[in-house]
Structure 1
């Protein structure tokens, strides 16, 4: 749990208070906040169409398997990953695998571990302004992947090139 993104760790604490949590991060979304403008568009970025599958489309792009095979492989790996014990159940994994649930940071964390990739996730608001940025680090990483998430959609850029 120590390796999770700080806001996610806060939510998982037993003494979690939603009002305190919102107050701590309000400065990130206020109108006066100075935030990076993340411009992502083709051809520099791969932008899938399917919202619920967009993360898997981004991560599998360039690998030799279908999106469904990738979702199956990743969720099976997640079920065995000790770091995620108690955070997932079979029903949740099946919902992610079948596209009934939008993938979250847990899937990105697992993908980082499974592939040995450093994965940076940049979340943006409706105006493409950065709201958060976090990198999931892998030991002896073989690739740096940059994901941008706006709402439930993901786009990807890898090593400065389109996948």
Structure 2
């Protein structure tokens, strides 16, 4: 007779432990999801705030993403990494689009930063439209293998 209440008590404890274990797993999973979301949000906001101002300080800078480069001041366009020479040149120019910076060939491919970004005559100013804004005239100023597809056009040849 004493055995029956003991079995009922043990089964109740086991059942309570299983419920508590499930609750703990759910709570732990919620905490993990919240943590991942917070980290992702922080990383994304730092990423956006980190490069957006500098990209918009270049003619056609926003279009570099279409060429596969989100951060052309770095050696790795997708996730940053070490700075590329163009970042040092931009810093030396006071982080502004100057004629000297425009005329510099930061990646050593034979085309100036201005030619690669659609401003071959270095006339662009913040808020204005560059001489060339079509993708066929643009290339990455941090990649020596990337030259303007219509390269002769940016050097004064007649283009259609």
Task: Give the TM interval when normalised to the shorter protein.
Answer: under 0.3
TM-score (normalizing by structure 1): 0.28
Greater relative contact order, per chain length (Cα 8 Å cut-off, separation 6+): 1
More helix by share: 2
More strand by share: 1
TM-score (normalizing by structure 2): 0.28
- The structure with the larger Rg is 2
